[in-house]
Structure 1
Amino acid sequence: MSEVMDNKITEIIDGKIDRSKWIKWKFSDLVENIVEKVVPKDSGLDHYIGLKHLDTGSLKIRRYGETESLIGNKLKIYKGDLIFAKRNSYLKRVAIADFDAVASAHSLVLRPKSENVNQDFLPFFMMSEKFWQRAIEISVGSLSPTINWKVLAKQEFLLPPKDQQAQLAKLLWAMDEVIEREKEVLSFEEQLFLSYSKSIFSEGVGNQLELKNIGDLIMGQSPKGSTYNENGVGMPFLQGNAEFGAKNPTHIKYTTAPGKVVKKDTILISVRAPVGDLNIADREYCIGRGLAGIYIENEDLRNYFFNFLKYARLELEKNSTGSTFKAINKDTLSTLKCIIPQDAELKDNSNKLNSILNATELLSKKIISSKSLQKSLINQVF
């Protein structure tokens, strides 16, 4: 980023924003609520943007559905409009459409009123905690809190003059572009991992063995709730992947009646949705029914199989069962097949895969740091 941008970031962080000329606006003075209803199959549009296609904290739309199977009237959204998820408001979802599409009826299609607000600035304002705090406060309903347009339209917000909006928008979009470039590099590294993994795990040479013949499989089982505590009494207890970290878990609970116990260096795998998340036990743990443990004594083989499980995640998800919560059982795991090469090749393959994964991990941390800075700046502005 340029020196000017760096100075502007420092200025915001140090709280040197002059708000004396800021103006109070009703939300309806900033945006127009576009209600153009269409029958998807007759709309001439191929793409559908549902609420599930929106990501919290991101203005980008990276995936979409198709219109051919949709039933009932939907909204039409034009390139440049904002799609705002009015349902389940606590998820804080808003994005910019970069193509014409059909939008969910559980969203609002909003078009900036350029005479009052800079259209590049508005999306970042709508990502701020100041905006979402108000939006969530006016939501109605307990199961799926929903925002009513007429109520939202009346809400008042304090914004900088348009010339300041343009300056801030330039800064925030520059940061967003940095994050997007980092994500592109991360996507490349992930594809490299999958491509190299395919050459090893699907097309490699070696003995094809089932998991039950590679290591010891332990399916988790939760102790009675009355044995739990957070005071450090008993054995550390992991219920599921909620306690997973980048590599090792961080436990909160303990149990005085451990049932299923795994050793240090055991591969931990989530067997309930989301299926396939992985960690390595950094000590002895009691594991609950959301996890399974795979203990492989040989370190090279353990590292190799850990990478195989990353590659095999899609297959595990396909073989999961359940209508409400997807899960995999002991039979699915124990019969999972993996090609095991000779020792020298196995170690070489593991080292190459670990090199790619280390690069991926560093990029992931960098993206998290960049997004955290962007979020902090947005919230300090408002």
Structure 2
Amino acid sequence: MAKYRFEEIAYNSTEKKKPVEEDRFSYIGLEHLDPGSLKVTRYGSDVAPTGEKLVMKEGDVLFGKRRAYQKKVAISPFAGIFSAHGMVLRPREDVIDKDFFPLFISSDYFLDAAIKISVGSLSPTINWRDLKILEFELPHLAEQRKLAKVLWAVNVTLESYRKLITATEQLVKSQFIEMFVGSSENVLLSDYVWFQEGPGVRSVDFAASGTILLTGSNINDNQISFGYNSDRFISTELSLGKYQHFICNENDILAVTSAIEPAKFDKKVVVVQEDNKYCLNTGIIRFKPNREFLTLCYFREFLKSDFFKSQVMTNMHGIAQMHFGPSHLKHMKMLLPKNLTVQKRFSEFITQSDKSKFELEQALKELDSTYKKIISENLG
């Protein structure tokens, strides 16, 4: 293998334009990119984006340089404009095969090295002047072409699993609409659900005792997980002003409400599985539904429903980061089913759907592990 500086591997296209009205139909933002997937399935904006955007061509590799730890890389499906918080990359084909190029950019080998040079605390960003001098080892072109064929075959299977998972989620949404929308009473959410309105205890002793820190990045798809965030436990060195400190109980429901991308809101809800001591940042709200009227499964899916999401979007405010707080919840509506029997029937359906989704996700993880192993054995 030979070693190259990144500027010898890729062109960084910096052509920009100020969007006009028709550009809103071909705009891709970082919010449209899904970590781990090279496919763009969402795009466009309700209004013309503001500020200069990068010009992209069909087949360009789009790389999210802002918050690069989210590992957002995709192939542009058409010509249009891309977020200025990203990079538009093209291969230098005398060094890297065009089919292998997007696989290389989306690899942990490249991304982990790029993330290390991010600068800034709130929204760490990668600068081209730092990225271009990073060195990477690449197989010879003939080997890259062989590797690309294998990896793309695996990638196709990965995408098929993702489609099945999405189809399962859509089935749940359809069932929710069929069973509850139009047949339920519109009531005030606050009449049937308790939610955390104020900050909990602000105590250094509490924070220094091994309390787990939860941020929005730790909550996805009804799971609490720890990925890039190495600061799993609060310490006395961290500023306590922006955190809520309290005990979470089993069957509490947490929803992320800060810096939400509209398309991702339904991914940011989780049912707590056991009593635990957590520090939550202020962008997470804790709910306790009244179990006399609401099952956990029903309320979890209600928080993920379009009925609730539309109210969230209406009440969002902020400039740098959009969010809504507990004060808005006091005026929000909830769909209250006529009785628990139909909710329990829905819960049984959810249990089966969750099981199917879990099995698909496990298969996806195993195949993704194989995919990454192939890359790691051939890069670096």
2:200 counterpart residue number:
222
1:301 counterpart residue number:
295
Deviations 1:313-370 (A, max 9, x none): 4145235444145133256258533232344333223322332333234333433443
AA matched with 2:251: D
1:16 counterpart residue number:
none
CA contact (8 A) 1:241 1:277 kept: no
Superposed, which structure 2 residues align to 1:272-283 within 5 Å?
272=258, 274=260, 277-283=269-275
Evaluate the alpha carbon distance shift between residue 228 and residue 359 of structure 1 in structure 2; reply closer, same or farther with a 3 A threshold. Answer: same
CA contact (8 A) 2:255 2:286 kept: yes
Q: Secondary structure at the match of 1:110?
A: strand
1:352 counterpart residue number:
349
TM-score norm. by structure 2 comes to: 0.73
The equivalent position to 1:193 in structure 2, one of 148, 154, 172, is: 172
- Residue 198 (structure 1) shift: 1.0
The equivalent position to 2:128 in structure 1, one of 145, 148, 154, is: 148
CA contact (8 A) 1:301 1:346 kept: yes
CA contact (8 A) 1:26 1:157 kept: yes
CA contact (8 A) 1:248 1:281 kept: no
Cα distance in structure 1, aligned partners of 2:221 and 2:46: 38
CA contact (8 A) 1:41 1:68 kept: no
Evaluate the alpha carbon distance shift between residue 300 and residue 41 of structure 1 in structure 2; reply closer, same or farther with a 3 A threshold. Answer: closer
Is 1:178 equivalent to 2:157 in the alignment? yes
- Residue 120 (structure 1) shift: 1.1
AA matched with 2:309: L
Is 1:167 equivalent to 2:159 in the alignment? no
Is 1:317 equivalent to 2:316 in the alignment? no
Evaluate the alpha carbon distance shift between residue 92 and residue 266 of structure 1 in structure 2; reply closer, same or farther with a 3 A threshold. Answer: closer
Evaluate the alpha carbon distance shift between residue 319 and residue 365 of structure 1 in structure 2; reply closer, same or farther with a 3 A threshold. Answer: farther
CA contact (8 A) 2:297 2:350 kept: no
Please identify the structure whose Cα radius of gyration is greater: 1
Is 1:381 equivalent to 2:373 in the alignment? no
RMSD, aligned α-carbons: 4.1
Gaps of 5+ in 1: 1-21
Cα distance in structure 2, aligned partners of 1:240 and 1:113: 39
Evaluate the alpha carbon distance shift between residue 140 and residue 65 of structure 1 in structure 2; reply closer, same or farther with a 3 A threshold. Answer: same
Gaps of 5+ in 2: 226-231, 236-243
- Residue 162 (structure 1) shift: 1.8
Cα distance in structure 1, aligned partners of 2:73 and 2:195: 43
1:326 counterpart residue number:
323
81-90 or 161-170: bigger deviation: 81-90
Q: Secondary structure at the match of 1:291?
A: strand
Q: Secondary structure at the match of 2:287?
A: strand
Evaluate the alpha carbon distance shift between residue 281 and residue 330 of structure 1 in structure 2; reply closer, same or farther with a 3 A threshold. Answer: farther
Evaluate the alpha carbon distance shift between residue 45 and residue 265 of structure 1 in structure 2; reply closer, same or farther with a 3 A threshold. Answer: closer
Superposed, which structure 2 residues align to 1:204-243 within 5 Å?
204=183, 209-214=187-192, 217=195, 219=197, 221-229=199-207, 231=209
Evaluate the alpha carbon distance shift between residue 216 and residue 79 of structure 1 in structure 2; reply closer, same or farther with a 3 A threshold. Answer: closer
- Residue 212 (structure 1) shift: 4.6
Cα distance in structure 1, aligned partners of 2:304 and 2:223: 15
1:113 counterpart residue number:
92
- Residue 107 (structure 1) shift: 4.1
Deviations 1:116-149 (A, max 9, x none): 3211112222223443354456666676533225
- Residue 177 (structure 1) shift: 1.0
CA contact (8 A) 1:121 1:166 kept: yes
Cα distance in structure 1, aligned partners of 2:291 and 2:256: 20
CA contact (8 A) 1:89 1:146 kept: yes
TM-score norm. by structure 1 comes to: 0.73
AA matched with 1:279: V
- Residue 165 (structure 1) shift: 0.9
CA contact (8 A) 1:41 1:67 kept: no
- Residue 279 (structure 1) shift: 1.1
2:59 counterpart residue number:
80
243-252 or 356-365: bigger deviation: 243-252
The equivalent position to 1:265 in structure 2, one of 247, 251, 267, is: 251
2:103 counterpart residue number:
124
AA matched with 2:269: D
- Residue 68 (structure 1) shift: 7.1
Cα distance in structure 2, aligned partners of 1:43 and 1:297: 49
